[in-house]
Amino acid sequence: MQLNQYPQAIHRAAIALADLETRITELKQAITQIESEIDLAISFDDSLKNESQRKTRRFELLQSHRTHIEASAQSLRLTGEKGKAVAKLELLRNEFSVKKLEVRLAIANSLAGSEMLDLVA
């Protein structure tokens, strides 16, 4: 990749990461909403006599709630993708820094070489 291509590549990687973070946040909000609805239903269930029964019922309801299961799985998958996106973004940033240092070194070497020629002449 050329030096002038890195800013655009970094921008695209940052946008992809932001999109993943947004999707993860939306999923977590959906999961929280489902859990709140289940907790509300459990709180009004008079057949549940103690905390152990309420916890068991909550677990059963969450395990049988298809949307909760799918959202949790997707959130887990996207969290893994986010880790990879962060790594890609950092790699691009580091490669860009290295390329800039290489260009600076080449310029410095070029200037040092021309100064040596001036001293010899």
Range of the domain at 72: 3-120
Mean pLDDT, all residues of the chain = 93
pLDDT digits (tens, 9 = 90+) for 36-77: 999 999 999 999 999 999 999 999 999 999 999 999 999 999
The pTM assigned to this predicted structure is 0.81
Number of domains the chain contains: 1
CA angle (77, 10, 20) in 5-degree steps:
20
Q: Give the 3-state secondary structure percentages of the chain, helix then strand then coil, rounded to 5.
A: 90, 0, 10
Residue 6 C-alpha from the chain's centroid: 20
| Residue in the block written with tokens 């070029």 | 110
As to burial, measured by CB atoms within 10 angstroms (0-12 exposed, 13-18 middle, 19+ buried), residue 6 is: middle
